[in-house]
Structures are given as structure tokens and as C-alpha cells.
Structure 1
Amino acid sequence: MKSVQIDKFGGPEVLVVKDFELGKPGPKEVLIKNLSIGLNFIDVYHRTGLYPIPLPSGIGLEACGVIEEIGSEVKLFKVGDRVTHASMPIGAYSEKQIMPEEKLVSVPDGVSDEVASCITLKGITAEYLLHRAYPLKKGDKVLYHAAAGGLGQILCSWANALGAEVIGTVGSKAKEEIAKKNGCHHVINYSEKNFVEEVEKIVGKNGIDVVYDGVGIKTYKGSIETLKIRGMMVAFGNASGYVDTIDVKKDINAKGLFFTRPSIAHYTVKREELVESAKKVFDAILSKKFNVEISKKYSLKDAAQAHKDLEARLLTGPAVIIP
């Protein structure tokens, strides 16, 4: 089968399509034919070595496919089931892959292969951010950075449906309309205006209940500045660089803030958590709490270009790779 592999960390050029021998699934594993593959920023972190992985390696954490073969002890699924996943073991950029059964969830009728493949990671991330990392309440004032991105479109729409007042930041004029279309009540273009000053015009000084910040170092200080006393800083990503130093006295103690640096792994430790979270995501899609529009489709051989587009912020929503 064809699989995208990396032999060294580096730029998009290290992504190479190779012929790969997959082998047979173990007792509690299944062999999946991938129908659609999700493209995520964590793939970039794995490729560059920011999140180191053993090399050589496949790449990609998210895909939707059909089970072609099951191990001798598999009890949760059968051949022909349509499933999706968004976790290790790494290697979703491939025509087929082997996965442990406990990492998979069933895809309900009404959710397409392409939507399932690009919503599992982003959707579960949005679910735990909105319902568990900080249980969002009606009337809460939310600041979300990179609101026009794939995750931003989902989270902002969902936050809006939960009754929050959503302020989104974007980096270009074109992305302002995308953010408005996907749940943001207010949109700030941080390439043209100081987002802290603009937030204060909307909700007043120290007026934000929770900041969801996946950008990182470029937005961290400003995010802290916008929060209310006893507000919550949810630093869940680092697209502009990792926040590796926190001044507790200045950043946290000054307003008695709460700070968390969560990941999807922390909120899907138990299979029950994974299944329940995925169910909430698929229910939200089917009940139209948010819509998923695929912004672009790539082939396996175009994986390097997909990463270039992702890092250059050219994508205007979720994107997929079709094997």
C-alpha cells in the first residue's frame, strides 16, 4: 500500500510517499481501509520534531475508513463497520492502517467519510474545551484566537449555540467574514488592530471569562491581559511558538487566574470518555449546532503541499487528504 513516511524532521519536503508493507492486525487490532484523512496542525509538530516521534515513521492521527479485517479478540467492531479515530498510533496518511480497537469510534449515518475524517480530532477538541476544560455557561464572554481556522469555525459556532458571547480574532480581511459566518459575534483582525484594545471596547477592561488560545507565544500576553479576575486561560496550542515560561506573579497571581495547558489525550484517557465525547460531536453535527465545510482536498502525493498551505494559513476551514 501507499503511505506517507518521514525519515527525518524538517520542512514539508520530508514527507515522502512510499510503498509500505503493513502486516496483519494483532488480536485486539483491526485493519482499516482509509477513505478520507484529516489534516491537522499537530501533524506539522510531528513533522518538524516539535513533538518528537521515533523515526522513520508514518504521519497523521486522524482518518475515517472501513474495517477490512479484525484480530482474533476484537469485540467492539466487525468487518464492514465504518469507523474514525484521532489518536496514536501515528500513520493516518496511508491507504490502509492498523489500529487498536479501543481507539476507534463508530461513524453514524448522516455523517460523511470526509466530515468524519476532519471532525474527530477538531470536534473532540472543541467538546472538551467547551464542556470540560472550562464548562462554558450561557452569557460567558469568550475570546478565541484564529477563529477562521478549522477548529475555530467549529468551536465558535458551538460556543454561540451554547449561549456565549464570542469574540474571534483573525489574521486577514478575507477571514473576517468566515469567522462571522461561523458563530463569532465580534471579529478582530489582529494584523490591523491591537486585539486587547478592541476586546476592551467590546466587553470592557478585564472583561473576558475564558480565552481559548491555540496560537501560543504571539497572543499569550494579550490573552492574559483581557481576562477578568478569576478568569480562565486555556492554552491548548502553539501555532506561533510554545509558551514555555509563565510568570506566576505577573501572569496568574495579579488577577487570581486559572491556567490550563490541556490536550486531547488528557480528556480521552478512558474509552468511555472517548466514546461519549465523539457522540456529543456527532450529535452536534446532526442537530446543526455547527456545520463542517471542507475547504480543500488533497491526494497523498500532495501531502507536502497540504502542509505548506496549512503553515501559510491559506486554508479557510477543515481540509482532508483522499488516499
Structure 2
Amino acid sequence: MVKAIRIHETGGPEVMKWEEVELGSPGSGEARVRHTAVGLNYIDVYFRTGLYPAPLPTGLGMEGAGVIEELGPDTDGFKVGERVAYAGRPTGAYAEERIMPVEGLIILPDSIDDQTAAAMMLQGMTTEYLLQRTYQVKKGDTILFHAAAGGVGLFACQWAKHIGATMIGTVGTDEKGELAKAHGCTHVINYRKEDFQKRVMEITDGKGVLVVYDAIGKDTIMGSLDSLSPRGLMVSFGNASGPVTNFDLGVL
């Protein structure tokens, strides 16, 4: 038996229960991983509150790092005692140990400690697919990124600066604005003090941005669309303020 945080109903933090669970042995293509660090992400809140439905009861958490304690058959390339990390489904990282498919594990180099690996995997991978594959940001591009001081946002600040792109980031406090700037964000807008769409147009001389990355959802969708240049790309990858519903396609 191992301890894990599970939920039997959706709701606030009080629905999380520290329970004993039967883990069993890994099957074909699986490893038993003893966690040394676990990552916390906003998507965990989505599952806990029920915004993202999941069969109950369920575990929480989507990334972690640890040591392989046991291997099932067909797990070539991995050894007991190796340090590994992962990010993504199935949920259940909030646990002392868990069974994971080895195809989702990466072996950690000595240069990356467990806490760093557990903190960066999901957010780093998200940033990569947003800035490289959803829309390939290039040198000279101007982009708008909401929640620039969040986990993914801070990765995006650094990534955009490295590429040579101009990143306009929105934040909710001046302190978060300073944090985003320190990580490479070119322009910061405190949306509690300014109309971010109006400021985007001022910064871009009325042209708008090529792409908007929006994990806020309901509260920002219209301003995000109004911040785009003609034929610009709107990327929605979260719903922190609630899902966008009853959207009128005529707005486009």
C-alpha cells in the first residue's frame, strides 16, 4: 500500500483526501516510480473542480520525478534505480509511488535535479508546442500572451526573447509585471489598470498581433480576438476564468 491524494467528488481543496491505495506490480511496458518531487499545475484545479470531467474517484497531478523501483516486461532501455520524470496523463502524480507506462518516462541527466524536472516538464512542453508547433514564432514577430507571469507564461517570456520576438504579456499585478519583464517579456499590461486590447493596438501602431495565446478563457476571449491582426491566429489553451460558451461565429 502507498499513500496518494485522491478525490471522490469535485469541489474545493477540501475534497482532496490523503488515502492508502493498492498499487500492485507493473505490467508489460510499465514501471513503478517512487516520487521524489511532484509538479503542481493549474490544470490540476480544473480536474478537482470538475471543469475537466474525470471518472471518480481519481488521483490528481500530471507531472513528477522519481526513481524506478520495479519494471514490468518489455521495458528495454530502462533500469531499476534510474532517475526519471514525466508529464501528462494519466492523472495521479500526487502520490508516494505510482505505475507509469515507460513510453511516457524520460531518463534524467545528472545536470537536472528532481525538483527542477518535476516543475518544468508540463509547462516547458506546453510552451514548446505553443510557440513552435501551434504557431511557429519567428524573429521579429509580435505576440500577445495572457498570464505572462504564470508557469507557462514565464517559459514563454524566455522563449520569445531567445527567438527575437516581441512579446506583449498581460498580468494581474504590478509585481507580476516586474517578474514577467525580468524573464524577457517586452511589454507588460496590467489588465486591472488598463484595457489590454487598446494597449496592444497602441504598441503595434494599430496593426494587432500575429497570434494570441490565451489560457484565461471567458474573460479575455473578445479582447483577444480584437487584438489580432487580419488573419491572425487565436490559440486557446485553458479556461482559468471559465469556459467560453455560446460563442457567435459571426464575431469572426
TM-score by length of structure 2 reads: 0.97
1:181 aligns with 2:191: no
Q: Which residue of 2 aligns with 1:116?
A: 117
Deviations 1:135-176 (A, max 9, x none): 111100010001111110011111111110011100012111
Structure with higher helix content: 1
1:247, distance to aligned residue in structure 2 (A): 2.6
Q: Which residue of 2 aligns with 1:101?
A: 102
1:83, distance to aligned residue in structure 2 (A): 1.2
1:24 aligns with 2:53: no
Trace 1:283-322 onto structure 2 (pairs within 5 A): none
Contact 1:153 1:182 in 2 (8 A): yes
1:99, distance to aligned residue in structure 2 (A): 0.3
Deviations 1:124-143 (A, max 9, x none): 00000011000111100010
In angstroms, what is the RMSD of aligned CA positions?
A: 1.1
1:248, distance to aligned residue in structure 2 (A): 2.4
SS at match of 1:79: coil
Q: Which amino acid aligns with 1:65?
A: G
CA–CA separation in structure 1 for the residues paired with 2:239 and 2:164: 27
Q: Which residue of 2 aligns with 1:319?
A: none
Trace 1:270-285 onto structure 2 (pairs within 5 A): none
Contact 1:67 1:82 in 2 (8 A): yes
Q: Which amino acid aligns with 2:32?
A: L
- Structure 2: give runs of 5+ residues left out of the alignment: none
1:49, distance to aligned residue in structure 2 (A): 1.2
Count of equivalent residues: 251
Trace 1:161-176 onto structure 2 (pairs within 5 A): 161-176=162-177
Q: Which residue of 2 aligns with 1:4?
A: 5
Give the 4+ runs in structure 1 shifted more than 3 A.
none
Trace 1:171-320 onto structure 2 (pairs within 5 A): 171-251=172-252
1:187, distance to aligned residue in structure 2 (A): 0.4
Greater relative contact order (CA < 8 Å, ≥ 6 in sequence): 1
Identity %: 50
CA–CA separation in structure 1 for the residues paired with 2:248 and 2:234: 14
Q: Which amino acid aligns with 2:233?
A: M
CA–CA separation in structure 2 for the residues paired with 1:121 and 1:244: 27
Deviations 1:28-47 (A, max 9, x none): 11000101001011111111
CA–CA separation in structure 1 for the residues paired with 2:83 and 2:99: 14
Contact 1:205 1:226 in 2 (8 A): no
Contact 1:76 1:101 in 2 (8 A): no
1:63 aligns with 2:49: no
